Structure 1
Amino acid sequence: MTMMKTARIHGFGDACVIRYDDVPRPRPGPGEVLIRVAAGSFNPTEAALRAGLLQSFFPVDLPYVLGWDVAGTVAEIGAGAKGFAVGDRVIGRLDGGGAAAEYVRAPAAVLTAAPKSIPLAHAAALPVAGLTAWQAVFEHGRVARGRRVLVNGAGGGVGGFVTQLAKHVGAEVIATAGPRSTEAVLRQGADHVVDYTARSVSAALDGPVDILLNLVPLSPQDAAALTPVVRRGGRIVSIATPIEPPADAGVSAVHLVARNDVADLGALVDLVDAGAVRIDISSSRPLSDLAEVHRLSQAGRTRGKVLIIP
C-alpha cells in the first residue's frame, strides 16, 4: 500500500489540532482524477472550519484533510472522467477539502487547465480567492468602466484579485489597506489607498462611491459607518459581515457566498495568461508548517496568498 503525507484534523479547536498523518494514497472513483499536488493555498476561512465555527452550515466528517485550493498534475484517471489526460496541469476548488496532501482525488468536473504563463504551484492561489473576487466584481457588483469602487480589505488574497479585476474593466478603485499591504495594493492597480489604521474610510473619501466591495469582518458600528459612503442607487457586496443599509438609503446589498464555477475559473485563467491578472504570492510554506500559517493568520500577520507545498 502506497502512503502519503496529509495535514488533517481529528477534532475542532485551535491550530494545535492539525496533525500530520501518513495515510493510504487514494484512488480515483468514477468521474474523478487523482492529482499529484504541486501546491495548495491557505484561505482564512479554513481556520474557522478548523475551529468548528462552520459546522452549522458547512458540516464536515472527521478526520478531515484540510485544503480547498489545488494545483497539480493529473496522475491517474477514474472511470468515466473526461477532459483530462495523465500529465495535464490542472487547478480547482475542492469543496470537500483534501488539498493539504501529496495527492488528492477530485471530480474532473470542478477542474480546469492551469495557467501556462506562471509556475504551477502559484496557480493554487487562484481558485477560492479568484472565484470569490470574480463573482463579487462582475456578477453581484456589476463593476464597469467609469464606476467608482471602494474595496474594503484590499490587502487580503481576495482583495488583490478584486482590485485587479475592477481595474481591468476600467473602474476607479479606492482601496483600504494597512501599511504592510499598501505597496502591493498599488501594484495591483488601485488608484487610491486609504490607510485604515490612520483614519476612517468615510473621512478619507472626497465623495460617494458607486459600489462598495467589503472583504473583511466588521462590527455593527463599522458596518453602519461604511453604508453612507455609497451613493443612492449604488450597491454593496460583502463576502464577510452582512451589511444592511437603512431602508431609505436607496442602496442595494448582498451577502456573497461564492459558488464553485469552473467556467468562471477558466475565464480567470485566461486573464492570467493574457497578463491582465497577476497572482501575488506573499510566501510559500511546507505542509508541515500549516498549523503555524493558521496561527499567523489568526494573529493578523499574513498578507495576500500563502502557498502550502507538500
Structure 2
Amino acid sequence: MKTVILNTYGPASVLVIADMPNPKPKPGEVLIRVQASSVNPVDLGVRSGNILPAEKGFFPMTLGWDAAGIIEKLGAGTEGFKVGDHVMAISPQPGTQVGTHAEFVALPIEQVVKITKSIPFTTAAALPLVGSTALAALQALNLPKGASVMINNPDGAVGAMAATIAPLLGLRLAEQDETDVDGAVDVRGNEHAQRAFVAVRDGGVYATIVPDWWKPNGVFTASRGITPLIVQNPANQDVLAPLAEWLEQGILKQDIEDILPLDQIADAHRRMEAPGRTGKLVLRHFD
C-alpha cells in the first residue's frame, strides 16, 4: 500500500511516499481503506521530534490521527460493523504509533464509528481529533444545561469547535470579558489560561487541554473551590459517536481551508508551520 513515512525526525522534507505491506486486522480491529485524512499540529510536533511517543519511536513511522474511509476487512469480534461500511476513525498516533496517512489502517473498533454515505469523506476526515478533543473538554466540566462556559480561544481550531459544540450540549457560551462564569476550557495555556481561570466563579469548574501548563506546585493549584482538570482525548466512541450524529444532522462541520492529494503532505506540513495559521488541511487519498 502507498504510505507516508518518515525514517528520522526532522523538517517536512523527511516525509516520503513508500510502498508498505497492508496491515492485517487483529481481533477487535477493522481494516479501513482510508479515503481521506487530515493534518494536525500534533503531527508536526511528532515529525520534528518535539513531541515524542511515550515509548521509543520506531521507524519507518507513519503519522496521522484522523481518518475516514470504507471498511475493507473485519477482524474477529467486530460485531456491529460490516465490510463496505463508511466510517470515521481516530488513532492516537504518538501512543500507538499507528498512523492514518496511508491507504489502509487497522484500528480497534472502539476508535471507529459508522457514518452515513451522504457525508463526504473529506468532511468526516477533518473532524475526529479536533472535534473529540473539544467535546471531551466540555464533557469533563460536567456542567448542567443552561450553565455558562468560556472558551479562551474561540477562533482557534479546537476552541472554535468547542464554541460550536457547547450550545449543542445546552451550554451558554460566555463572552471573553465575562466574569463569574460557571466553567471554562483552556485551549491555549500560559497567560491566556490564567485569565480564563480568574473568570470562573468560586466553586466553578476549569479544564485544560494544555497539560504542560499544569505542573505540580506550579502556577495553578486548587483554589477558590476549583480543582483544575487535565483533559486527555480518550479517542473512543464516546467522543466520536456524537460527532457522527451531528455531522449527519448537518449541524456540525469543520471549516476546511484546502484539500490536497496525499503525496503533497510535506507541502501541507510546511503550510501549517506558517505563523498564525489555523486552517484545516485535509488529505485526499484516492482520486
Per the normalisation by structure 1, the TM-score is 0.79
Q: 1:53 is aligned with what amino acid?
A: N
Tell me which residue corresponds to 2:145. Answer: 145
SS of match in other structure, 1:155: coil
Residue-by-residue CA offset, 1:64-110 (whole Å, 9 max, x unaligned): 11111111001222344432222110111123332101222222342
What is the distance in 1 between the residues matched to 2:134 and 2:196?
20
**Structure 1 position 287, deviation (Å):** 1.3
Q: Following TM superposition, where does structure 1 have runs of at least 4 consecutive aligned residues deviating by more than 4 angstroms? A: none
Q: Could you tell me whether the CA contact under 8 Å between 1:88 and 1:113 is conserved in 2?
A: yes
What is the distance in 1 between the residues matched to 2:230 and 2:171?
22
**Structure 1 position 264, deviation (Å):** 2.8
CA distance 1:281–1:144, shift in 2 (3 Å): farther
What is the distance in 1 between the residues matched to 2:122 and 2:222?
46
Tell me which residue corresponds to 1:177. Answer: none
Q: Could you tell me whether the CA contact under 8 Å between 2:3 and 2:18 is conserved in 1?
A: yes
Which one of the candidate residues 50, 53, 61 is aligned to 1:53? 50
Tell me which residue corresponds to 2:160. Answer: 160
Q: Percent identity?
A: 32
Q: Could you tell me whether the CA contact under 8 Å between 2:25 and 2:107 is conserved in 1?
A: yes
Q: Structure 2 regions of 5+ residues with no counterpart? A: none
Residue-by-residue CA offset, 1:222-271 (whole Å, 9 max, x unaligned): 44344322221122211015345455433221121111221331122122
Q: Could you tell me whether the CA contact under 8 Å between 1:146 and 1:171 is conserved in 2?
A: yes
Which one of the candidate residues 189, 195, 213 is aligned to 1:242? 213
Q: Could you tell me whether the CA contact under 8 Å between 1:37 and 1:72 is conserved in 2?
A: yes
What is the distance in 1 between the residues matched to 2:276 and 2:222?
37
Correspondence 1:119-268 to 2 at 5 A: 119-138=120-139, 140-174=140-174, 192=175, 205-216=177-188, 218-219=189-190, 221-240=191-210, 241-243=212-214, 244-245=219-220, 247-268=222-243
What is the distance in 2 between the residues matched to 1:79 and 1:171?
41
CA distance 1:57–1:153, shift in 2 (3 Å): farther
Tell me which residue corresponds to 1:184. Answer: none
Number of equivalenced pairs? 276
**Structure 1 position 206, deviation (Å):** 4.3
Q: Could you tell me whether the CA contact under 8 Å between 1:115 and 1:272 is conserved in 2?
A: no
Give the CA RMSD over aligned residues: 2.4
Which one of the candidate residues 5, 9, 24 is aligned to 2:6? 9
Q: Structure 1 regions of 5+ residues with no counterpart? A: 175-191, 193-200
SS of match in other structure, 1:249: coil
**Structure 1 position 50, deviation (Å):** 1.3
